[in-house]
Amino acid sequence: MSSSDPAPRGSHAIPLLKLVNVWKRFGDGPSQVTAVANVDLQIEPGEFITLIGPSGCGKSTLFNMIGGLLPADANGSIVMNGVPQQDGELLGKVSFMPQRDLLFPWRNVVDNAILALEIEGVPKKEAREKALGMLPDFGLSGFEKHYPHQLSGGMRQRVALMRTFLFERDLILLDEPFGALDALTRAMMQRWLLDIWQRYKRTVLFITHDLDEAIFLGDKVLVMSARPGTIKCQETIELPRPREASVVTSQAFIAVKRRLLDAVEEESMKTFAAAEPPR
């Protein structure tokens, strides 16, 4: 396998994840809100899929359903490895990292990283040995005994990501993990994440509000519509891997961005219009 290809994509008969006509409504009667509507989505093993859309379009709701934290409405289906998932069955089958790192201040780097393994019943000594072996890949060598308050924002995110990768699941959901970082740290973390993804060969679904980030990271970019959120369009990213930072100034990158920008801005304007008070 070529080093530029982190995993065989598109060659599997059965997708890792398939969503068919997925909806999510909250409340009843006149006050009911439809957050997600008629979402169809297919992810192949090894793909890096990025998801972008305006605020409030249902991206996090969709993630919570895929992660098993919220049940999807009964009219749709979520299928993993060819098996339809019922309410509660997805919980624990995917790794899920929310926007905040959620590190415990009283636990050091290693003990924060092994939390999910401990919950699964892995003996602490075994879990720590596994985490210690991953420290170099995550740029945390020498920091195993440090506590969260002693780490930079980027290092805290690396600890949270290491915890997510240690929880060995084929699908990883990342909900804007770099959103709170400064631009320089964010760019460095993006390149680092692609390196980790290539090394560990997991499947990633990644939420972002940053179109450049979505294009730079993704095999495919999915654009969600304004609420109720559905998949408005999909763009396959043909930029070669591994991707250098300079790719964002290439003509190919700019052409993709121009196509996607129209779709994203159209949905953002719908969101702004819906939020304006009636005149």
On the question of pLDDT at 39 being above 90, the answer is yes
Q: Which amino acid is at 60?
A: S
Find the mean pLDDT for residues 167-177: 89
> CA angle 235-195-103, nearest 5°?
100
Distance from C-alpha of 163 to C-alpha of 177, rounded to nearest angstrom: 13
Q: How many CB atoms lie within 10 A of CB 45?
A: 20
Domain ranges for the chain: 101-168
Q: Compute CA distances 103 → 37, 121, 162, 257, whole Å.
A: 33, 20, 12, 35
Paired with 26 in beta bridges are: 33
On the question of pLDDT at 65 being above 70, the answer is yes
Find the mean pLDDT for residues 41-49: 95
Parallel/antiparallel/unpaired status of strands 220-224 and 231-236: antiparallel
Distance from C-alpha of 190 to C-alpha of 177, rounded to nearest angstrom: 10
Q: Compute CA distances 53 → 76, 156, 176, 217, 270, whole Å.
A: 21, 26, 12, 16, 11
Distance from C-alpha of 53 to C-alpha of 55, rounded to nearest angstrom: 7
Q: Among 74, 72, 64, 140, which residue's Cα sits nearest to residue 96?
A: 64
pTM of the complete model: 0.87
pLDDT of the residue at 108: 96
Mean pLDDT, the chain, rounded, equals: 88
User: Which single residue is written with the structure tokens 């995110």?
Assistant: 157
100-158: pLDDT as tens digits: 888 999 999 999 999 989 988 999 999 999 999 999 988 899 999 999 999 998 899 88
